[in-house]
Chain A
Amino acid sequence: SQQGEEDPQALSIQEGENATMNCSYKTSINNLQWYRQNSGRGLVHLILIRSNEREKHSGRLRVTLDTSKKSSSLLITASRAADTASYFCATDWQGAQKLVFGQGTRLTINP
């Protein structure tokens, strides 16, 4: 079974607004990553946050990690129509490089 669960399953907002997606996991992790998937395409890596980090930024992306709550959030600021995609969190743990993915959040940005 998959370790990650994402919330919400679907999110629809207006262009220019901020989008927040959440991810929860069950066991101790080494790293947590966020990926984007456009329809019919493979996944694109967005950002990686290590278990000893609490927050990370990359352009319009902000990721937080709370290991005590086993949760992470991805914030996309000033959303654009091109941000429309599915977003997945993925975790790995010490000694294992395979990733365990959540079910994903389907984000729609309305122009």
Chain B
Amino acid sequence: GAGVSQSPSNKVTEKGKDVELRCDPISGHTALYWYRQSLGQGLEFLIYFQGNSAPDKSGLPSDRFSAERTGGSVSTLTIQRTQQEDSAVYLCASSLGIGGGAQHFGDGTRLSIL
């Protein structure tokens, strides 16, 4: 497809379990971003990948959160030992990565921790 694709669209899991969220960016976009959106709130930056550079992890809330981007394309956000406060919508975006500019978002993964 032409847009950013995220999977799964919904995930329900028990507290303490690990979860993996996947993002397929737009082909050719070198920059990839993860954000978290709590109910009725704005977006909170988590992590940013740009080409082969070291990622900007400054937004990750704890060491339970990690992300990787393989081959400069698909990215996986992993949350270990999930807590109830991790419940949110996790949004991925990609961009051309040149001098800022418009970011293109997927529809997100709605994560619910029981």
Contacts and interface: CB of A to CB of B under 8 A. Distances in A.
B15 to A, nearest CB: 24
B102 A101 contact: no
Interface of A: 2, 4, 30-31, 33, 35, 40-45, 48, 88, 90, 92, 96-104
Contacts of B44: 2, 101
Given A42-B91, A43-B105, A4 B100 contact: no
B45 A88 contact: no
Contacts of B105: 35, 42-44
Nearest to B58: A98
Contacts of A4: 42
B45 A100 contact: yes
Interface string B14-35: 0000000000000000010101
Contact of B100 (A2, A30, A102): A30
A41 B107 contact: yes
A97 B97 contact: yes
A97 B91 contact: no
In order of increasing CB-CB distance, the 3 nearest A-B pairs are A42-B105, A45-B102, A101-B42
B70 interface: no
Contacts of B76: none
30 contacts: A2-B42, A2-B44, A4-B42, A30-B100, A33-B102, A41-B107, A41-B108, A42-B93, A42-B106, A43-B91, A43-B93, A43-B105, A92-B100, A97-B31, A97-B97, A97-B100, A98-B33, A98-B45, A98-B48, A99-B33, A99-B43, A99-B45, A99-B103, A100-B45, A101-B35, A101-B42, A101-B44, A103-B41, A104-B41, A104-B42
